[in-house]
A = this chain, B = another copy of it.
Amino acid sequence: MPASKIQSNSGNASNSSTASVLMLKPPYLIYVGDETRATYAKTGAGIAYWRKDMCLGQFRNDTSAVDLGLPDLTIEEAVAQGAGSLVVGTAQIGGGISEALLQVATEAASNGMDIVAGLHSPLSSIEPLAKAAAEGGARIIDVRIPPKDLPIGTGQKRSGKRVLTVGTDCALGKKYTALQMQKDMQARGLKATFRASGQTGIMIAGSGIPIDAVVSDFLVGAAELLSPQNDADHWDVIEGQGAIFHPAYAPVSHGLLLGSQPDAIVVCHEANRTHVSGWSDFELPSIENVIARNLELARRVNPKAICVGISINTSKLPAEQREDYLKSLSDQYDLPCVDPIIDGTDPLIDRLQMM
């Protein structure tokens, strides 16, 4: 590590970084286009499910495309109704952008709507679209690009409370668990904010930082920025990334864990998953080991960190086994254990309220 890095952090209690999280402009028009496969419209479906109130409508080429349950609007109608952003709710195969999407995005941008996407090739590199955005006073926002000038982590304790979802693996429900928790907390009148650490989460929340795209040295600092100081009785519900036993993404999880300084963690797991998805030589760690390692690492910055529950994605489990499965895990770990999408997360919130 160059000496300059240590010097730049001298007096580390304060931080002179001017970086800020990505902020999107609602309300959204969700782009579905001609996508007929639900899996490829998952992002759009997630936004419509969790944030219907932020969505004005959907843009579909015709009625054979996936229906997100939102009003069908043209760009002209969306602009007239005050749409802030066109959000690309579909995966663009091959990483590029289709001619149809480009045409719609250009019309939206020239009418002042921000264009929001998380594609492999940055939209802003497409000349006609960039020109339309400049003329229309719109932004082209790639939710895969982190803010500039991120700070180095300080390790300083911030006010407010934080709960972080962690996992036995990637892609098994950390985001949805956090979203459901925030919803259930707000239903009880608790102050709670969902903090998005990945691209789909950012589109749903309207703000956040794509933590896994941050340069390693600034990972903890980015995570600190994501859940800033807050009221003493306010909860940040932070979307986890990666998994602490993951052979490739463990460092991302480690950085988010340190920067989040969680008071509480919730462990997420998918019933019947036995190996790391995509890394088939690696067995999944036990839930016990995931709890232990996350707490061990988190306690470097928050010695009081505890685990408040287990969140299970039971979608691969026969329905009649679900209840027994959750109960047996709950007994084994002496922790509440829920499938958040089916049961909600009330038993987890009960634990948070006991803290």
Contact with B along A234-258 (1 / 0, CB 8 A): 0000000110010111111011001
Binds B, one of A27-35, A80-88, A209-217, A331-339: A209-217
For A156, the chain B residues whose CB sits under 8 A away are 281
How many residues of A sit at the interface, in one of the four size bands? 35 or more
- Residue from A4, A250, A281, A301 with most neighbouring chain B CB atoms (10 Å): A250
Q: Is the CB of B220 within 8 A of A213?
A: no
**Contact status B171-A247, CB under 8 Å:** no
Contact indicator A1/B245 (Cβ below 8 Å): no
In-complex Cβ contact of A216 among B7, B170, B214 (8 A)? B214
Of A49-57, A121-129, A131-139, A147-155, the stretch lying at the interface with chain B is: A147-155
Chain B residue contacts of A301, Cβ below 8 A: 247
Q: Which of A213, A220, A241 has the most CB of B within 10 A?
A: A220
Question: Which residues of B lie under 8 Å from residue A3 when comparing CB positions?
Answer: 91, 171
Contact across chains for A250 and B242 when beta carbons are under 8 A apart? no
Give a binary string over A278-318; 1 marks a CB under 8 Å from any B CB, 0 the rest: 11111000000000010011001100000000000000000
A9 at interface, CB cutoff 8 A: yes
Partner of A247, one of B154, B214, B247: B154
A211 to B219, CA, bound (A): 13
Most chain B beta-carbon contacts within 10 A, residue among A1, A217, A249, A255: A1
In the complex, are the beta carbons of B248 and A251 less than 8 A apart?
no
A312 and B297 CA atoms in complex are apart in Å by 25
A6 at the interface (CB under 8 A from B): yes
CB of A327 within 8 A of chain B? Answer: no
Distance, CA A95 to CA B7, complexed state (A) = 13
Least CB distance from A39 to B in Å reads: 8
Whether B216 lies near A278 (C-beta < 8 A) is: no
Interface status of A12 (Cβ within 8 A of chain B): yes
In the complex, 14 of the A-B residue pairs with CB atoms within 8 angstroms, ordered by the A residue number, are A1-B198, A6-B278, A9-B278, A12-B278, A212-B216, A212-B217, A213-B215, A215-B215, A216-B252, A217-B249, A217-B252, A219-B251, A250-B258, A250-B300
A216 with B220: CB separation less than 8 A? no
Tell me the smallest distance from the CB of A343 to a CB of chain B, in Å.
25
State whether the Cβ of A345 lies closer than 8 Å to any Cβ in chain B.
no
In A1-25, which residues have CB < 8 Å from any B CB?
1-4, 6-7, 9-10, 12
> Residue A248 contacts which of B153, B170, B211 (CB distance < 8 angstroms)?
B153
| A191 CB–B CB distance under 8 Å | no
Which of B171, B213, B250, B297 is close to A6, meaning CB atoms less than 8 Å apart? B171
Residue A173 at the B interface, CB < 8 A?
A: no
Q: Which residue of B2, B220, B278, B280 contacts A251 across the interface (Cβ within 8 Å)?
A: B220
Q: Nearest 5 pairs between A and B by C-beta?
A: A155-B247, A153-B248, A251-B255, A251-B251, A6-B278
- Residues of chain B within 8 A of A171, CB atoms compared: 1, 3, 6
Given A1-B241, A220-B251, residue A170 in contact with residue B6 (CB < 8 A): yes
A262 within 8 A of B: no
Residue on B nearest A253 in the bound complex, by CB: B251
